[in-house]
Each structure stands twice: as structure tokens, then as C-alpha cells.
Amino acid sequence: MENIQLFNDDCIKVLRSLPEKSIDLIFADPPYNLSGEGFLTTKNGKVAKLHKGDWDVITDIHKFNEVWISECIRVLSDTGTIWISGTLHNHPSVGVLLKKLGLWIINDVIWFKRNATPLLSTNRLAPATELIWFASKSKKYFFNYELAKQINGGKQMKNLWEINAEKHKTIHPTEKPESLLQRIILIASKEGDTVLDPFTGSGTTGVVAKKLHRNFIGIEISKEYFEIATHRINIQKNDEFDFNLSLNGNNSSAQQLLLMEDKAKYSKK
């Protein structure tokens, strides 16, 4: 039985209460600080003020990033990895801090969304990617290369991931597709490991972690999204998919992994 712990609180406060080196995998999708005065979006085809929530209004985003990343490093195990998702609005700060704080940057994963939302503005390129920093404390870390290869149809997995954006399951504005988290959790952790998401949002990471028989710690500052995440994770059955991910090299195992990919909706549309 998986151990699921959910906290409706500030992530830095909760992180400071967790034991040192107790986490095997961290996935973080931190605020991009795109809300408030001067930020615009489109709603129903019209220009509108962008305000995702008070959680996305941060006075000093670089300082904020340094504090929460430092706490994540403290709780990350020596062989664990941290994956941090972002766009051009935040990932330069994150990349600089990973170097400053002494982490080994393993990859910069480019998530390409072929079906990304069109851009109404005509003065720039339509954004269709997000960057995910993949880092560890040293060059000795857990990474399931063989499983990544099998997921990729028997070929070496590259750092360009083409995964379609999906219709959100909740009202959270930056909800990630379960297929993206499934890939990360499968290749960067083992059954029984503990996965942490310091910005849980609507609970996608927790849903996938539970499905894949991992322990999970989720932190969400918004009460509204915390309640949504709690409900999603609680109703998720941890035996919904039995992937039988033993890497014994036989054809049945490979077929099961490809079937898993189909279920995760990696097909091009």
C-alpha cells in the first residue's frame, strides 16, 4: 500500500519539516510569475488580464526559486533526481540556480506540444515547448536507461519529447498531462520510491505516482486546488494498470511497454 501525504501549506515550510535525503524523485512545476499588472492573455478570443492566482504573483522570483530549490536539494537522496518544468519566463533563473547550488545538470528536456494552442498575437512565434531541467546531486543517480529505450520503441530516448497537450481534467490553468508525468516517474524511480511535488496543483503527479505504486508527498498552497488534488488522488486506484515492468528482455515485456505508451497517449495527432 502506497503512503500518500498531502499538505495544504507553503512548500518551503513543509520542505523544512521533511527529513534530509528522504526523497527519491522530485518533480516541480513552480509558478512562472506571469500574473498581475502588465500580463495579458486571451479569453474567448479577446484580450484579458492574466491572473492565475495569488500564488503566481511573486515579488522576487529568483530569490523564491533559490529558497525552495535549496530545500529540495536537502531532502533529495544522494541517488535521486529533480525535474523542474518551466517556460522562458522562469527556466533561465532555475538553470542558473541549479549550477550555483552545485547540482549536476543531466539534461534539458524539451517537451514539444505539436497541438499547442495557436497564438492570436502576430508579433512573435507561437510557443509550443516547455523546458524540463533534469538534475542530480552527483553523477551517480538512478535512471532506468533500458526502460526509457523500451518506451521509445527500442531506440535510445532523446531529450526532445513530443507529447501532445491534453484537455485539462480540472480548472487548474497549468495542469500537466498524466502521460508526461508517467514517463518521468517510470524512468527516474522504482516501485516503492518516494516522489515529491512541492507545487502539487491539481494533483497530476500524485495520481500517476499512486498508479505506478510509488509513495507520494504533495504540497499545495491553494486550498481550492488542494481539495481538487486530494479528491483526484483518493479516487485513483493504484492497480488501474498492471504494467509488469520487469526488464527481462523478452518480447512480452516489450509489448506491454508499448501498450503502456499507447495508453499514455503518446501517439501523434
C-alpha cell at 215: 509513495
CA 254 to chain centroid: 25
What pLDDT does 238 receive? 57
C-alpha cell at 241: 494498470
Q: Are 215 and 209 in contact (CB under 8 A)?
A: yes
Q: Give the number of other Cβ atoms within 10 Å of residue 123's Cβ.
A: 5
What pLDDT does 33 receive? 63
The matching CATH number, chosen from 3.40.830.10, 3.30.450.40, 3.40.50.150, 3.40.190.120, for 4-263 is 3.40.50.150
Domain boundary assignment for the chain: 4-263
pTM of the model: 0.82
For 131, the 3-state DSSP assignment is: strand
> Which distant-in-sequence residues (6+ apart) come within 8 Å of 15 by Cβ?
68, 71, 72, 74, 75, 198, 219
Q: Give the number of other Cβ atoms within 10 Å of residue 206's Cβ.
A: 29
User: 226 φ, ψ to 5°?
Assistant: -60, -45
Which residues does residue 28 pair with via DSSP β-bridges, in sequence order? 84
48: amino acid identity, one letter: A
Burial (0-12, 13-18, 19+ Cβ within 10 Å), 156: exposed
User: How many DSSP H helices and E strands does the chain contain?
Assistant: 8, 10
Q: Give the number of other Cβ atoms within 10 Å of residue 162's Cβ.
A: 11
Cα–Cα distance between 184 and 92 in angstroms, integer? 21
Mean pLDDT by 10 residues, the chain (269 residues): 92 98 97 59 53 60 95 98 92 95 98 88 90 97 97 96 86 85 97 97 95 97 94 78 40 42 36
What pLDDT does 199 receive? 97
Residue whose C-alpha is closest to residue 197's, from 38, 30, 63: 30
What pLDDT does 117 receive? 83
Q: Give the number of other Cβ atoms within 10 Å of residue 249's Cβ.
A: 9
Q: Give the number of other Cβ atoms within 10 Å of residue 169's Cβ.
A: 15
Q: Are 133 and 94 in contact (CB under 8 A)?
A: yes
What pLDDT does 198 receive? 98
Q: Give the number of other Cβ atoms within 10 Å of residue 203's Cβ.
A: 30
